[in-house]
Amino acid sequence: MKKIIYTMLLGLIATNSWAGEQTWCVFDPVGTQGDISRRLQDIRLYAQQSQVQLKFKTFNNESEAIQTFDQGKCSGLVASNFNTYRYNRFMGSTGGIGLISNNRVARMLLQLFNHPNVERRMVGQDYEVLGMIPIGTAYMMMNTQQISKVSQLKNKRIGILENNPPQQALVQSVSAQPVYVDFSNAVDLFKQKKIDILAAPAYGVLPYNMKKEFGASTQVVNFPVAYFAINIVIRPQSYPTGFGHHIRSWFVKNSNVLAAQAMQWENHLPAYYWADISSFEKQGYEALVAKIRNRYVDSGYYDAYFVDLIRRLRCLDDPQYLECRK
Instruction: Tell me how many domains the chain contains.
Output: 2
CATH number for the domain harbouring residue 30:
3.40.190.170
Per the domain annotation, does 305 fall within a domain?
Answer: yes
212 vs 227, more confident? 227
Per the domain annotation, does 114 fall within a domain?
Answer: yes
Q: Note whether 247 and 281 are same-domain residues.
A: no
Q: Note whether 75 and 149 are same-domain residues.
A: no
Q: Is the pLDDT of residue 262 over 50?
A: yes
Positive/negative CA dihedral, 229, 230, 233, 239: negative
Q: Is the pLDDT of residue 3 over 70?
A: no
Q: Is the pLDDT of residue 52 over 80?
A: yes
Q: Which of 231, 176, 233, 183 is nearest to 203 (CA)?
A: 183
Q: Is the pLDDT of residue 10 over 70?
A: no
Q: List CB contacts of 314: < 8 A, sequence separation 6 or more.
A: 100, 101, 105, 321, 323, 324
pLDDT tens-digit series, residues 95-151: 999 999 999 999 999 999 999 999 999 999 999 999 999 999 999 898 876 677 778
Q: Note whether 41 and 107 are same-domain residues.
A: yes
- Contact present, 41 and 74 (Cβ < 8 Å): no
Q: Is the pLDDT of residue 11 over 60?
A: no
What is the C-alpha to C-alpha distance for residues 164 and 57, in angstroms, rounded to an integer?
A: 27
Instruction: Give the range among 41-45, 76-80, 232-236, 322-326 with minimum mean pLDDT.
Output: 322-326
- Contact present, 115 and 267 (Cβ < 8 Å): no
Beta strands 177-181; 157-161: pairing state = parallel
What is the C-alpha to C-alpha distance for residues 84 and 183, in angstroms, rounded to an integer?
A: 14
Q: Is the pLDDT of residue 285 over 90?
A: no
Q: Note whether 54 and 41 are same-domain residues.
A: yes
Per the domain annotation, does 322 fall within a domain?
Answer: no
Per the domain annotation, does 326 fall within a domain?
Answer: no
Determine phi and psi for 106, rounding to 5 degrees.
-60, -40
Q: Is the pLDDT of residue 7 over 60?
A: no
pLDDT at 168: 94
Q: Which of 261, 184, 228, 215 is nearest to 30 (CA)?
A: 184
Q: Note whether 168 and 292 are same-domain residues.
A: yes
- Contact present, 32 and 58 (Cβ < 8 Å): yes
Q: List CB contacts of 214: < 8 A, sequence separation 6 or more.
A: 141, 143, 190, 191, 208
Per the domain annotation, does 325 fall within a domain?
Answer: no
pLDDT at 145: 65
pLDDT tens-digit series, residues 142-195: 887 667 777 888 899 999 998 899 999 999 999 999 999 988 889 899 999 999
What is the C-alpha to C-alpha distance for residues 113 and 252, in angstroms, rounded to an integer?
A: 6
Write the single-letter amino acid at 106.
Answer: A
Beta strands 76-80; 21-27: pairing state = parallel
- Contact present, 197 and 157 (Cβ < 8 Å): yes
Q: Is the pLDDT of residue 8 over 50?
A: no
pLDDT tens-digit series, residues 225-261: 899 999 999 999 999 999 999 999 999 999 999 999 9
Per the domain annotation, does 126 fall within a domain?
Answer: yes
What is the C-alpha to C-alpha distance for residues 69 and 184, in angstroms, rounded to an integer?
A: 18
Q: Note whether 235 and 279 are same-domain residues.
A: no
Q: Note whether 68 and 162 are same-domain residues.
A: no
pLDDT at 18: 62
Q: Is the pLDDT of residue 16 over 70?
A: no
Q: Is the pLDDT of residue 31 over 90?
A: no
Q: Please, what is the Cα angle at 248 between 51 and 307, to 5 degrees?
A: 155
Per the domain annotation, does 143 fall within a domain?
Answer: yes
Q: Which of 261, 248, 43, 11 is nearest to 130 (CA)?
A: 248
User: Mean pLDDT over all residues of the chain?
Assistant: 90
Per the domain annotation, does 40 fall within a domain?
Answer: yes
Give the count of beta carbons closer than 10 Å to the beta carbon of residue 297.
18
Instruction: Please report, to the nearest 10 degrees, the dihedral formed by the alpha carbons of residues 142, 146, 148, 151 taken in order.
Output: -70
> Percent of the chain having pLDDT more than 70?
93
10 vs 71, more confident? 71
Q: Is the pLDDT of residue 6 over 80?
A: no
Q: Note whether 179 and 259 are same-domain residues.
A: no
pLDDT at 322: 86
- Contact present, 143 and 214 (Cβ < 8 Å): yes
pLDDT band at 15 (very low <50, low <70, confident <90, very high): very low
Task: Write the DSSP symbol of residue 181.
Answer: E
Q: Is the pLDDT of residue 5 over 60?
A: no
pLDDT tens-digit series, residues 292-307: 999 999 999 999 999 9
pTM for the model stands at 0.90
Q: Note whether 256 and 288 are same-domain residues.
A: no
pLDDT at 244: 97
pLDDT at 84: 96
Segments forming the whole domain that contains residue 171: 138-227+270-317
Q: Note whether 105 and 200 are same-domain residues.
A: no
Q: Note whether 167 and 284 are same-domain residues.
A: yes
- Contact present, 232 and 128 (Cβ < 8 Å): no
Q: Note whether 72 and 182 are same-domain residues.
A: no
In order of 139, 165, 250, 292, 304, the CA distances from 150 in angstroms are 14, 20, 41, 15, 27
